[in-house]
A and B are shown apart, each in its own frame.
Chain A
Amino acid sequence: MEEKVKESGDWTARVNRNTLRLGYCTGAWLVTTALATFGPQFIWHDNTLLTASAIFINLAIGLATILANKHHLQSLDEMQQKIQLEAMALSLGVGFVCGLSYSLLDQSNLMAADAEISHLILLMGLTYLAGTVIGNRRYG
C-alpha cells in the first residue's frame, strides 16, 4: 500500500505541475493578448514591426498554451476528464449555435451593433466555466 501511495504522490505532483504550467501559459497568453491589442495604440504608436512581433509572440504562446492544456487534460483522472469533456462539449455547442445566430443577426441588420468575436469567446468561456461547476456538483 505504501508503495502504491508513493506512486500516487508522483501522480498528484504531476497533476499539480501540469496545472501550474497551464496557469502560467494562460497568464502569459492573456498578457500578450492585451499587449497585442492595446500596444499599437498606447505603447508603440502603430509601429508595424512591433505590432507584428507582438501578434507572433501571442500566437506562439497560444500554441504553447494549447499543448499545456493537452498535457493537463491527459494527467487528470478519468472522472475529471469526463467532467472536462462534457464542459467542452457544452461550450463548443453553445458557441457554435449562438455564434451562428449572432452572426446571422448581424448580417441581416437585425442588430444595431457589429458582431464581435470577443463576445463569442466570453460566452464560450462562461459556458465552459458553468459546465465544469455543473459537472463537479453532479459527481461530487
Chain B
Amino acid sequence: MKNRLKVLRAERDWTQADLAAALEVSRQTINAIEKGKFDPSLPLAFKAARLFNMSIEDIFQDEAAA
C-alpha cells in the first residue's frame, strides 16, 4: 500500500517524531509506514485522516487497485 504521509508531513514541516506523537505510535512505526514496510490498521488510518483533515483514500492508495 502506497501512502502520502511523508509528503503531507513535509508540507507541515513536521518530523517523524511529531507525527508519531500526534498519532500515539512510535517513530519507528511512522518510518515503517512511510517506507511501505508496514500497513496501518483502519483505526490508525482514520486517525491520520482526521489529523490531516483528509479522507483515507487521499492519504493511502491500494497499489493492487492502481
Contact = CB atoms under 8 A, between A and B. Distances in A.
B45 to A, nearest CB: 11
Contact of B24 (A7, A79, A139): A7
Nearest to A8: B21
Contact of A139 (B22, B23, B28, B40): B28
A79 B38 contact: yes
Interface string B20-60: 11111110110111000110110010000001000000000
A11 B37 CA distance: 23
Given A138-B37, A139-B38, A79 B22 contact: no
B9 to A, nearest CB: 11
Contacts of A11: 24
B42 to A, nearest CB: 11
Chain A interface, >50% SS class: helix
Given A78-B40, A138-B37, A4 B25 contact: no
Contacts, number: 50
Given A5-B21, A8-B24, A80 B51 contact: no
Contacts of A136: 28
B29 A77 contact: yes
A136 B44 CA distance: 20
30 contacts: A1-B18, A1-B22, A1-B51, A4-B23, A5-B18, A5-B21, A7-B24, A8-B21, A8-B23, A8-B24, A11-B24, A77-B25, A77-B26, A77-B29, A78-B25, A78-B44, A79-B29, A79-B32, A79-B33, A79-B38, A80-B26, A80-B29, A82-B38, A136-B28, A138-B37, A139-B29, A139-B32, A139-B37, A140-B28, A140-B31
Across the A-B interface, the 7 shortest Cβ-Cβ residue pairs: A8-B21, A77-B25, A4-B22, A79-B29, A11-B24, A139-B32, A5-B21
